[in-house]
Structure 1
Amino acid sequence: MAITVYGYPKCGTCKKAEKWMESKGLQVDYVNIAEQPPKEDTLQTFIEQSGLEIKKFFNVSGLKYRELQLKDKLPEMSDDEKVALLASDGMLIKRPIATDGKRVTVGFDEKQYEDMWGME
């Protein structure tokens, strides 16, 4: 099974997720989220497939998030504006995002990965 992982090479959590997947024999297609952030339509699909709220896709501990004071601004924004903002800068997106084209996870939680990507 091939999994596309949107991550940041210097991110420790992304490295852990990638290492976990490789240890399970999964093929990882890695996309540098800073250089190639997912486009708006791709993000919209990820949000729908994940079943998560849009706010769960924001990297709330990131420097960019704090710089832009998004904690205060997000509640006032429409969903379309939030998705456009995420697509504008990969560093605003919580990572890693992993997808097989049907299912999506955001962040790395070993149990969630086992449930989602463990050998079937």
Structure 2
Amino acid sequence: MTITIYHNPKCGTSRNTLALIRNSGAEPEIISYLSNPPSQQTLREMISAMGLSVREVMRQKESVFEELQLADAKWSDDALIDFMVEHPILMNRPIVVTPLGVRLCRPSELVLDILPSQQLGAFTKEDGEAVIDANGKRITST
């Protein structure tokens, strides 16, 4: 079973997602997408599998998004994908691919929906939020 994470180690959400994958006992293939971006075809396939729009997969808070005027509706999906490949910082993260699906894991707990195995123990995010209890069960907020 292969699990792949498109990861940015500087991103807390990405680090939390990677830690949740590892808390299931799996060791994923880690792709540092900033230095090794997915191809246009791979990105298209992942976006389609996630059921998201191209714009939903873009980080609109990045300065390059504004510099390239990507908020302008004139850009086609293909053009936006080209920009993400050329400027991988525009790709939202982390994206996780497993045999059970593909997810943009924002928040990081979304990875739990596509992991093939249960969590092995308690898990708390870097910010102190408890996500998994000592029995490996997801904690739901009320």
Q: TM-score range by the shorter chain?
A: 0.7 to 0.9
Determine the C-alpha separation between the residues in 2 that align with 1:100 and 1:109.
17
For structure 1, the 5+ residue unaligned runs are none
For structure 2, the 5+ residue unaligned runs are 119-142
Change (3 A) 1:86 1:119: same
Query: Is 1:85–2:95 an aligned residue pair?
Result: no
Checking the alignment, whether the CA contact within 8 Å between 2:7 and 2:14 is kept in structure 1 is yes
Structure 1 residue 110: Cα displacement:
4.4
Structure 1 residue 112: Cα displacement:
2.3
Q: What is the aligned-residue identity percentage?
A: 25
Checking the alignment, whether the CA contact within 8 Å between 2:97 and 2:103 is kept in structure 1 is yes
Aligned residue for 2:122? none
Aligned residues: 118
Aligned residue for 1:115? 113
Q: Find 2:96's aligned residue among 98, 105, 120.
A: 98
Give the RMSD, CA atoms, in angstroms. Answer: 1.9
Q: TM-score, normalised by structure 1?
A: 0.86
Q: Which has the higher contact order (CA 8 A, sep 6+)?
A: 1
Aligned residue for 2:49? 49
Determine the C-alpha separation between the residues in 2 that align with 1:95 and 1:38.
12
Aligned residue for 2:136? none
Aligned residue for 1:30? 30
Aligned residue for 2:62? 62
Q: TM-score, normalised by structure 2?
A: 0.74
Runs of 4+ more than 4 Å apart? none
